[in-house]
Amino acid sequence: MNFRYRAIDGRGQEVSGLLEAADLRAADREVLRRGLTPVLLEPDQPVVDAWRDRLPPSPREMQLVLQEFATLVDSGVSLATALTSLSNSSHHPKITGAFAAMAKAVRRGDSFAHALAASGLDLPAYIQQLVEASELTGRLGPALEDGARQYEYDLRLQAEVRSALVYPAVLVASGIGAVCIVFLWVVPRFGGLLAQRAEQLPALSRWVIGGGVWFADHIGFVALAAAALVAFLVLLLRRDSVRQSILEACAKAPLLGPWLMESEVGRWAGTLGTLLSNRVELTRALDLSAASVGLAFLRARLSQVTRSVRGGATLSHALREHRALNASGYDLVSVGEASGELPKLLLALSRLYQTSGRERMQRALKLIEPAAIIVIGGAIGLLVTAVILAITSVNDLPL
Write the CB contacts of 68 (distance below 8 Å, at least 6 apart in sequence).
86, 89
Is the pLDDT assigned to residue 59 strictly greater than 90? no
Measured over all CA atoms, what is the biggest interatomic distance in the chain, rounded to whole angstroms? 96
Question: pLDDT tens for residues 178-195?
Answer: 888 888 887 787 777 666
Question: pLDDT-based confidence at 45, cuts 50/70/90?
Answer: low
- 348-364 mean pLDDT: 80
Residue 90 lies in a domain: no
List, for residues 211-232, the tens digit of each pLDDT value: 888 888 888 888 899 899 989 9
pLDDT at 399: 44
Q: What is the mean pLDDT of the chain?
A: 82
Task: Show the domain range for 20.
Answer: 2-45
Give me the number of domains the chain comprises.
1
Name every residue whose Cβ is closer than 8 Å to that of residue 73 and which is 6 or more positions away in sequence: 79, 82, 140, 141, 144
Q: Per the domain annotation, does 39 fall within a domain?
A: yes
Checking if the pLDDT of 398 tops 60, the result is no
The answer as to whether 222 is a domain residue is no
Strand partners, 40: 6
Q: Is residue 341 part of a domain?
A: no
Give the lowest-confidence range in 158-162, 192-196, 288-292, 371-375: 192-196
Instruction: Please write the tens of the pLDDT for every residue from 103-112.
Output: 999 998 888 8
Rounded CA separation 375/286 (Å): 44
30 assigned to some structural domain: yes
- Is 282 among the domain residues? no
Residue 261 lies in a domain: no
DSSP codes, 245-279: HHHHHHHTSTTHHHHHHHHHHHHHHHHHHHHHHTT
Q: How far is CA 305 from the centre of its chain?
A: 28
Could you give the percent of the chain with pLDDT greater than 90?
A: 4
Instruction: Give the pTM.
Output: 0.62
**Per-residue model confidence as pLDDT tens digits over 72-92:** 888 888 888 989 888 888 788
Question: Quick check: is 15 in a domain?
Answer: yes
